[in-house]
Structures are given as structure tokens and as C-alpha cells.
Amino acid sequence: MNDPIRESMLKKSKAAKRETFGKTISFLAIAVIVAVVAAIFYFVASKGISTFTQNGVNFWDFLTGSTWNPGSKGADGKPLVGALPMILGSFFVTILAAIIATPFAIAAAIFMTEVAGKKGTKILQPVIELLVGIPSVVYGFIGLSVVVPFVRSIFGGTGFGILAGTFVLFVMILPTVTSMTVDSLRSVPRHYREASYALAATRWQTIYKVILRSAMPGILTAIVFGMARAFGEALAVQMVIGNAFTVPNSLTTPASTLTSVLTMGMGNSVMGTLSNNALWSLALILLMMSLIFNLVIRWIGNKGGNTK
Amino acid sequence: MKKKILGLLTLMATMLIATGCQIKGEVMNVVGSSALQPLVESAGESFSKIHPDLYVNVQGGGTGTGLAQVQGGAVDIGNSDLYAEEKSGIDASQLTDNRVAVVGITPIINPDLKVSNLTLQQLSDIFSGKITNWKDVGGQDLPITVINRAQGSGTRVVFESAVFKNGEKAIKAQEQDSSGMVRQIVATTPGTISYSSYSYINDSVKTPAVDGVVLSHDTVVDNSWKIWAYEHMYIRKDMQKERVHEFLNFILSDDVQDNIVNKMGYIAIKDMKVEKTLDGQVKSIE
Amino acid sequence: MSPKRVDKIATGVIYAMAVIIVMILVALLAYILINGLPHVSWSFIVSPSRVFEAGGGIAAQLFNSFYLLVLSMIISIPLSILAGIFLSEYAPKNKLTDFVRTAIEILSSLPSVVVGLFGFLVFVIQFKIGFSIISGALSLTLFNLPLLTRNVEESLQSIHFTQREAGYALGLSRWETVTRVIIPEALPSLITGIILGAGRVFGEAAALIYTAGQSSPALNFSNWNPLYINSPLNPFRPAETLAVHIWKINGEGIIPDLNAVSTASSAILILAVLIFNLIARSWGRRLYKRLTGAN
């Protein structure tokens, strides 16, 4: 007995099928991404760890040593792979650039979303998006021909160093941080603002006490991304920081970052040798450092979210 | 709309698979030293004109990459600034060396410096950090800023082996990745000194004489200019492709040596009156 | 100080900082354009580059940049949208999801040179694709996916929950709600994300040096059959993009007019990004109107 109604009730509806389909393919997509992430992690980790397992470098010496010359051996017969100068250099430029960029990015975002309205957005947004598309090489060359001489004329020395790197990175991460901050300010529901104004708060009070707090996790994410970009940026920084493997003792003497050493050394070393493995260890440190940053910011974000 | 996108994707996929199966035309991969890249690239262009179905794909990436990849068989030819024996991690016995050109390397200094001659000993003292002011070598009172090429760079190895005769160690100094960067920094930063292969020299930097000799084609060929090296194109000993051998012969032909090698600031192999062995011994060729 | 006073001061400060930013940005753009545009001419855009003589152009490089952009976007946009949907709509709120998110974020901080080397060892060597546009596009996809996925998730999350409830109330399934209600609503911010990603792809050099390569076959612009090695559409040919070209000639170039070529290329690169932005934006606005009925 064929009852069409019974059949259609029992069969999965079209919508349900589509739902399954959608869920499946979106799951597959995330699975692909996770697989890729895992592959890259494994790749970097396995190559980076071999410095310590195959070449017998002490991990602690690697982190705290201050001489980087993988091609030759030190007085104690151990390879000279001390990454401290680069680790400090990376930390300094990243944190300094983020410290300078954050207030500017937040101000620009507030300007675009709260103060100037549509007109401000119309001017600023395209300019900011345009800046993301400038290749880091071009940033580097502008840094080399404008920022470095500028630093030199004010602070003396050669002009190459952490300060020049900070300036270049500041401009480079500004668009990323700003546009993400704008997104998070925009996603604050309108009734928050209305409620605040209804309580007779001024615009600044509304911005400061309501909007910024409610958007805090988003802003923090924006900063992490900015720092991540600063961290991972190689070509531009490499041109202005001077690439000297010394522990930085001032902002205007040549220093180096993890990425600049990585980029410079890769082509000049043979895969599988210590010189090459040591570079992958730097990449591994880079990953671990951004993991730590990430966890810290997440923790702050959670705290902010709870008190909201 | 989704269907359209899906259709487009399918089309793309089929296209990719189709192309993957049968490419019309042969590719020869040459990878390595960026200093040698422009030379091989223009030789490759001329070679492709004779063989229109062949494309010579020349990539930089550095001497280390070139040697490692040719050894692993991933590319046909590996360009190198150094003898394969000089690079750790490379088994030179598997490779055949083809010396295709000679390159002279010269110190370069900021054009505002009042120094026009340096001795090899002075160079050694400057790059090992014993001399730190230009007034000690006859210039004005200005601190010396040394710019090195990256560790492992071919140009740096050649320069240091010619200058550091007694096992001196290079001072910790700024390092740069490429000849172009070095040239630009030396041109604009007061008191800087570095070194560069002859093909990259232009008016923006000053090239002092070394021990009274000025770098030129003629001073390199008789070894009166001491800082020079061969540019190598390595292939695997078991290389089967005929086109690869043909291409190497093409580069060594008089036509290419005269019209491309010498014009680009390198020195043709056939012009050399001396020969340098792996351990740095120089003897004259009859 | 009265709140009104504070409000005035704060507004002033925000204005001042916005002005400073605009000034920095405008100065930067002006610097690039003023230095570069005088060297740009039609023949520069359409003629092939030269290795050691003056007077070369950037025809192939410009084409390669766009082709690579399109290919990598074709791969990464669907993937990241689907993955973003999963993270935003389906993923259970647990430690595992958090872990996946963190992993994706960390990936985005990987220097592009590492991504490039990964692409080199995996696509170029392991999969034997060789230095090619497709290897470059895949590497750029790796490089772009984290940011795009993150952006999709955030855009979807920022849509007000009432929209979702309205969808469910109409009897739509979750998938239908997302594709028919949420995505159209989130389109403007999705497009912003895509434009940002495209800008990064356009300007990326380090990830491409080892994958798409630093040289380009002499292209035959009259042969559009992708089966030929000299066809512009062949995705298996090596391709130097504009950003890589700028990097290469500045690093190791020996052409005498290096400075002119480099500044002109930078200017063209920026103009290309600008044009791309305008097109994507107007196209996005049209799509948004059609899908949402908004005016």
C-alpha cells in the first residue's frame, strides 16, 4: 500500500537533506584546514627539533646563547647557535609596534564608526584596504630611504635598528588592526548605544564605558593579529633593522629578528645540515611565541568578557 | 548562482587535470645562486630562440638551495657561487662541475669617503674589527660601519677567503641578503664598507683600489686582482637529458661568452690566463 | 572636569589621531605614486621585462599577479567560507573547537617565508608540480586561509541573533538560514575580508619566491590554450608576480633603469589593488542589494 503522505512524512525532507549536506561539506572544509595546519606544525616541529636531537644542541643554550654562527663551532666544540639576540629583537619590535599602533587604530576605528559617520568611513576604509595591498618589499624600501635616514639624523648612528623596524611595522600593521577593530565596534548592538544615550551619557562616556568594553575581545583579537603580522613580517623588517646578531642594547643600534635571520639564511644553507635545521628551530620558536601570545590575549579576553 | 560557481570549479578542475597530463613544450629547471641568475636567464632566452619548444626556467633561491636540489634530483642544473666541496651537506662526488664564468669581487665604500686605496691587510683588519675608524686608513675621522652579506652567501665566502689569510674572524656586523640591498645601503649610509661582485657595481658606490690594483676585466684575467671566483653550474653525474648538456655547451660557446658573459660584468672563462684550484692555488694557463 | 568637557577633549583627540593616520597613509601613497607614476607608460605596462638592458616592462608580471590572485581566491574563498560557517554555526562550544581556533590563529603568524618553503618542499618537490602558478596559488591559499576563515566566522557571528531566530521561525534549517539569511546579510564584511586577503596575496613575495618562482616564460598573449607552456593561462608554468619582480630587481637586478622599473612597478601595483578594491566593492554592493533587497 502506497500512501504518498505517509511516505513524504517518513522520508527526509529536502531541507533536512540539504542541512546534512551543508553540515558535511562545511565540516570537510574545516577538516582540510585543520589537516593543513597540522601538516605545517608537524613539518616545522620535526625539522626544528632535529637541531636538538640530531645535532645535539642544548635547548637551553639555544634560547640563551648570544652568538649565532651555525657554520662554525665555539671554544667548547659545540655549534654556535644562540638565538637570544633574535628572540629579543622580535619581541621588542613587535611589542613596540603594537603599543604605538593600538591607540591609533582604536582612535581611527572610533572615528569611523562613532564620530564621523558614513563620510569618515568612506574616506578611511578604502585607504586602509589599499595599504594592506602594498607589498612588504615596498614598505621596506620606503623604510630604507625615508625612515632610516630620519632615525639617523635624530639619534645618530647608522639609523638601522629596532626603532626603524618599529616605525615600519607600525605603519604595516595599522591597516590590519584598524579594520578589524572597526568590525568589532560595528558588531556592538545598536541598543547598547541607545541605552547609554538614554541614560544621558555623553558620546565619549558611551564610547569609553559601553562600546569599547563590549568590543574588547574583538579589539584584543585585532591586536593579536596585528602582532602576529609584525611577528611574521620578514622582508620589510630585514631591510631596516640592520641584521646584526647582537643582543640589542639600544633602540638605534643594529639588531635582528627571528624572521629576518630565517629569510636571509634559508637560501644559503643546505637542507639537512645544522645551519638549515637551526633556522627551522627559529621558525619553531616563532610558532611557540605566537602560541604564548595567543593564550595570554585569550585569557585577557575571557576576563574582559566576564566583567562586561 | 551556486550552480554557476560549481560549474566553474568543475571546469577549472578538469582544466588543471588536463593540463597536468600533457604540457606541450619541455621545461629545464635551473635553480640556485642569485648572482648567476641574470646571466643564465639571458642565456636561456637565447637558447629558447633556437629551441622554441624548450623553456629554460631559471630560479634564484641561493647557492645552498641550488646545490641541495640538484643533488636531490629535483632540478636539472644547480647554480652555485662556490665549489660544491666547500658547502657542508653536499656530496660533491655525485656532481659534475661546469665553470661558466668568473666573477670579480670588490670592496665598495660610501662615495663620500676620502679613501681610494686599501691594502689587503687593511681590509682584513677592517672586516675583522681591528680597525674601526676611517682615519686609520687615510680617510676622514668617521667610524667604520661594516655591512656583510648573509652567512653562507657565496660572495661572502669568496671575499673572506681572499682577505682573511690567517684565520681571522669576521666581526659581528650588519648583514644583508642581496647585492642590491648592500649597494643601496653603502650608497646612502655614511662610513659604510661592504663588498659586491663586479656585475652589480654602479656609480652610486665607490670602489677603492686594492694594493694599488683597480678591478677590471684585464686585472682579473692575470690574477693581479686577487678577489675573484668561478661561477658554477652543477649537474648530476647521471644526467640523461641531452638538452641539458647542449645548454651547458651553449653557455660555454664563444658567442655567449663574448656577447652575454662579458657584457654583463662577468668574465668569460676562455679569457682567463690563470686557473684557481679548489684550495686557492693559482697557476697560469699556457 | 565635567563629562561634557571630557567628551569635547576626547573627540578632539580622536579627530587629531584620525588626521595623523590619514596623513601618514596619504603621505605613503603619495610617495609611491609621485616617485613611480612619471616612469609609467603604456609601453611599460605591455612590454616584456628584460634581464640586463634598460627599457623592459612588466606585462607578464602584471598578468601573473592577477592570474595567481584569481586562482588562489577560487581555492581559498569557498574553503574559508565553509570552514567559517562550520566554526560559527555548527562547531560545539568545547575545548576542541577552541583549540582549532587557536591553531588557525597561530598559523596566521607564521612568516610567509616558512609557508613558502613548506609549499616548495610539498608542492614543488614532493608532488612534483614544479615551480608553477598552481604551486604558488596553493601556498598563498595556506597563507590566506587562517585570516579569511577567521574573518568569515567573525562576520557571521556579528549578525544579530534575531536574524537567525527569524530564519528558524520560518522553518528554515540551520544551513538554509546561514546561506539564505546570514551570509547575504554579512556580505559587506565578508567582502572586506576578501579584499584584505586579496591585497595580501597581491603584495606577497616571500611565499612565492620558492613556489611560483622568480622568472616567467616569454608569454605568447595570442595563445590562450592552457596546454601550451607559453600560454598565459597555463597554470603549470613558472610565474613571477609583480611583487616578486620588485623584490628581485632590487635585490639582484642588474638592469640600469632598476630604480625606474621598481618605483613604477610599485605604483602600478597600488593602482591595481585600488582598481581591484573598487570592482570588488561595487560588485559586492550589487550582490548585497540583490540578495537582501536592501536599498
Q: What angle do CA A293, A299, A305 make, to 5 degrees?
A: 135
| Cβ–Cβ gap C79/A233 under 8 Å | no
Q: Assign a CATH topology to domain B104-221.
A: D-Maltodextrin-Binding Protein; domain 2 (3.40.190)
Count CA within 13 A, CB hemisphere, residue B12: 15
Residues 107-146 of C with CB under 8 A from A: 107-115, 117-118, 121-122, 142, 145-146
Structural contact between residues C271 and A133, judged by C-beta atoms closer than 8 angstroms = no
Is residue A297 predicted with pLDDT exceeding 80? no
Residue A119 has pLDDT above 70, yes or no: yes
Give pLDDT, residue B193.
94
Q: Helices marked H in chain A — which ranges?
A: 4-10, 14-53, 59-64, 84-110, 117-132, 136-142, 148-155, 162-186, 190-198, 203-205, 212-214, 216-232, 235-241, 258-266, 274-307
Which of A184, A214, B7, B122 is closest to C155 using CA atoms? A184
Q: Is the pLDDT of residue C285 over 70?
A: yes
Q: Determine which of A185-189, C215-219, C288-292 has the lowest per-residue pLDDT on average.
A: C215-219
Q: With the C-alpha atoms ordered C265, C271, C275, C276, is the resulting torsion angle positive or negative?
A: positive
Task: Tell me if chain C has a CB within 8 Å of the CB of A133.
Answer: yes
Mutate to test the interface with B, among C85, C180, C187, C229 (most CBs of B within 10 A): C229
For residue B156, the chain A residue with the least C-alpha distance is A268
Contact map slice: A 93-122 vs C, CB within 8 A = 103-104, 107-108, 110-112, 115-116, 120
Per-residue pLDDT band for B25 (boundaries 50, 70, 90) equals low
Range in A97-106, A191-200, A266-275, C74-83 with the lowest mean pLDDT: A266-275
Please name which of A111, B116, A261 lies closest in space to residue A269, comparing C-alpha atoms. Answer: A261
Cβ-based neighbours of A302, under 8 Å, separated by 6 or more: none
Output the CA torsion sign for A182, A186, A188, A190. positive
CB contact under 8 A, B18 and C227: yes
DSSP string, A269-291: S-TTSHHHHHHHHHHHHHHHHHH
Q: Which band of pLDDT confidence, cut at 50, 70 and 90, is reported for residue A303?
A: low
Dig out the grid coordinates for A31 from the structure. Answer: 577538516
CA distance C171 to C192: 31
B42 touches chain C (CB under 8 A): yes
Burial of residue A9 (CB within 10 Å: 0-12, 13-18, 19+) is exposed
Residue B106 has pLDDT above 90, yes or no: yes
Residue A29: is its pLDDT beyond 80?
A: yes
Q: Residue C5: is it exposed, middle or buried by C-beta count within 10 angstroms (0-12/13-18/19+)?
A: exposed
Amino acid at C262: S
CB spacing of A36 vs C4 below 8 angstroms? no
Type of residue found at B286: E
- Does position A117 have pLDDT exceeding 80, yes or no? no
Write the Ramachandran bin of A135: left for phi over 0, alpha for psi from -120 to 50, otherwise beta.
Answer: beta
Three-state SS at B24: strand
Q: Does B13 touch chain C (CB under 8 A)?
A: no
What is the secondary structure of A42-60 as a DSSP string? HHHHHHHHHHHHTS---HH
B218 has a pLDDT exceeding 50: yes
- Say if residues A151 and A253 touch (Cβ distance below 8 Å): no
pLDDT band at C192, cuts 50/70/90? confident
Over residues A32-76, the pLDDT tens digits come to: 888 888 888 888 888 888 888 887 788 888 888 888 877 777 666
Judging by beta carbons within 10 Å of its beta carbon (0-12, 13-18, 19+), is residue A220 exposed, middle or buried? buried
The set of residues, in sequence order, having a beta carbon less than 8 Å from that of A137 and lying 6+ positions away, is: A235, A236, C205, C243, C246, C247, C250
Contacts of C52-57 with C-beta under 8 Å, sequence gap 24+, read C52/B38, C52/B42, C52/B263, C52/B264, C52/C254, C52/C255, C53/C255, C53/C256, C54/C255, C54/C256, C54/C257, C55/C257, C56/C255, C56/C257, C56/C261
Q: Which residues of C touch A111 (CB under 8 A)?
A: 14-15, 17-18
CATH topology of domain B2-102+229-284: D-Maltodextrin-Binding Protein; domain 2 (3.40.190)
CB of C102 within 8 Å of a chain A CB? The answer is yes
What per-residue confidence (pLDDT) applies to B147?
A: 92
Q: B172 contacts in A (CB within 8 Å)?
A: 244-246
- In the chain, the amino acid numbered C3 is P
Task: Give contacts of B60 with chain C, Cβ < 8 Å.
Answer: 209, 214, 248, 252
Q: Do B172 and A273 touch (CB under 8 A)?
A: no
Q: Is B6 on the interface with C (CB under 8 A)?
A: no
- Strand B228-236 with B145-149, pairing: unpaired
Could you give the CA distance from residue B189 to residue B191 in angstroms, rounded to a whole number?
6
Q: Determine how many CB atoms are found less than 10 A away from the CB of residue B17.
A: 9
Given a contact cutoff of 8 angstroms between Cβ atoms, the answer to whether A176 and A133 are in contact is no
Whole-number mean pLDDT of chain B?
Answer: 85
**Phi, psi (rounded to 5 degrees) for C108:** -70, -15
Among the listed residues A190, A192, A223, the one whose alpha carbon sits nearest the alpha carbon of residue A209 = A192
Q: Find where cell 603568524 sits.
A: C109
Answer for the pair A222, A177: CB distance below 8 angstroms, yes or no: yes
Which residue among B35, B60, B72 sits closest to C214, beta carbon to beta carbon? B60
Distance CA A137, CA B139 (A): 35
Residue B21 has pLDDT above 50, yes or no: no
Would you list the domain boundaries of chain B? Answer: 2-102+229-284, 104-221
Residues linked to residue B282 through DSSP beta bridges, in sequence order = B276
HEC string for chain C: CCHHHHHHHHHHHHHHHHHHHHHHHHHHHHHHHHHHHHHCCHHHHHCCCCCCCCCCCCHHHHHHHHHHHHHHHHHHHHHHHHHHHHHHHHCCCCHHHHHHHHHHHHHCCCCHHHHHHHHHHHHHHHCCCCCCHHHHHHHHHHHHHHHHHHHHHHHHHCCCHHHHHHHHHCCCCHHHHHHHHHHHHHHHHHHHHHHHHHHHHHHCCHHHHCCCCCCCCCCCCCCCCCCECCCCCCCCCCCCCHHHHHHHHHHHCCCCCHHHHHHHHHHHHHHHHHHHHHHHHHHHHHHHHHHHCCC
Q: What H or E segment, with its residue span, contains residue B100?
A: strand B99-109
pLDDT at residue B131 in the model: 92
Taking alpha carbons only, the member of B132, B162, B167 closest to residue B146 is B132
Give all chains having 3 or more CB-to-CB distances under 8 Å with chain B.
A, C
Helix (H, G, I), strand (E, B) or coil at B61: strand
Residue B211's pLDDT is 92
- What values do phi and psi take at B149, rounded to 5? -80, 165
Give the separation between CA B175 and CA A151, rounded to whole angstroms: 19
Structure confidence at residue B23 as a pLDDT band (50, 70, 90): low
Closest CB to C229: pick one of B12, B27, B41: B27
Q: Which three cell numbers stand for residue A170?
A: 607600525
Alpha-carbon Rg of chain B, whole angstroms? 22
Whether residues C227 and B38 touch (CB distance < 8 A) is answered with no
C 241-280 → A contacts, CB under 8 A: 243, 246-247, 250, 262, 266, 269-270, 273-274, 276-278
What is the 8-class DSSP label of residue A306? H
Which of C77, C53, C61, C75 lies closest to C138 in space, CA to CA? C75
pLDDT tens by residue, A126-185: 777 777 777 788 888 889 889 999 999 988 778 888 999 999 999 988 888 888 888 788
d(CA C162, CA C177): 12
Q: Which DSSP letter does residue B252 get? A: H
**pLDDT at C18 exceeding the cut of 60:** yes
Query: Chain B partners of C252 at a C-beta cutoff of 8 Å?
Result: 34-35, 37-38, 60, 178-180, 200
Q: Is residue C163 over pLDDT 90? A: no
pLDDT for B17 equals 52
DSSP A12: P
pLDDT-derived band at B249 (thresholds 50, 70, 90) equals very high
Q: Report the pLDDT averaged over residues B132-147.
A: 91
With beta carbons less than 8 A apart as the criterion, state whether A256 and A86 touch: yes
Lookup result for grid cell 682577505: B163
Report B:208-227 residues touching C (Cβ under 8 A): none
Q: Return the closest-CA partner of residue A160 out of B175, C49, B103.
A: B175
The chain C residues in contact with chain B (CB within 8 A) are: 51-52, 74, 78, 124-125, 130-131, 134, 209-210, 213-215, 217-218, 226-230, 234-238, 248-254, 256, 258
* Residue C271: closest CA among C242, C239, C245, C247: C242
- Are the C-beta atoms of residues C70 and C79 closer than 8 Å to each other? no
ipTM of the complex: 0.80
- Amino acid at residue number C86: F
- pLDDT at position C34 is 92
Q: Which of B55, B65, B196, B264 to mutate to test the interface with C (most CBs of C within 10 A)?
A: B55
State yes or no: pLDDT of B20 exceeds 80.
Answer: no
Cα angle for residues A247, A253, A258 (degrees, 5° grid) = 50
Q: Of A253, A208, A84, A128, which Cα lies nearest the Cα of C7?
A: A208
Whether C161 and A4 have beta carbons less than 8 Å apart is answered as no
Q: Exposed (0-12), middle (13-18) or buried (19+): which is B168, by Cβ within 10 Å?
A: middle
Closest residue to A267, CB basis, from B65, B87, B175: B65
What domains appear along chain A, each with residue ranges and CATH number?
Answer: 13-81 (no CATH), 84-307 (1.10.3720.10)
The identity of residue A103, as a single letter, is: P
**C222 CA: distance to closest CA in chain B (Å):** 16
Determine the 3-state secondary structure of B130 from DSSP. coil
The answer to whether residues B63 and B88 touch, using CB atoms and an 8 Å cutoff, is no
**Angle at CA C160, nearest 5°, toward A299 and A23?**
80
Q: What is the mean pLDDT of residues B201-230?
A: 90
- CB contact under 8 Å between B88 and A265, yes or no, is no
| Cross-chain CB nearest to A111 (options C15, C82, C149) | C15
* Cβ atoms of B54 and B26 closer than 8 Å: yes
Which is more confidently placed, C56 or C20?
C20
**CB of B231 within 8 A of CB of B33?**
yes
Query: Which range, A171-185, B228-242, C273-287, is most confident?
Result: B228-242
pLDDT band at A307; cut points 50, 70, 90: very low
B34 vs C256: CB contact, 8 Å cut-off?
no
Note the pLDDT tens digit of each residue in C74-127.
889 999 999 999 988 888 888 888 888 888 877 776 777 788 888 888 888 788
Domains in chain C (CATH in brackets) are 40-292 (1.10.3720.10)
- Stated pTM of the model: 0.85
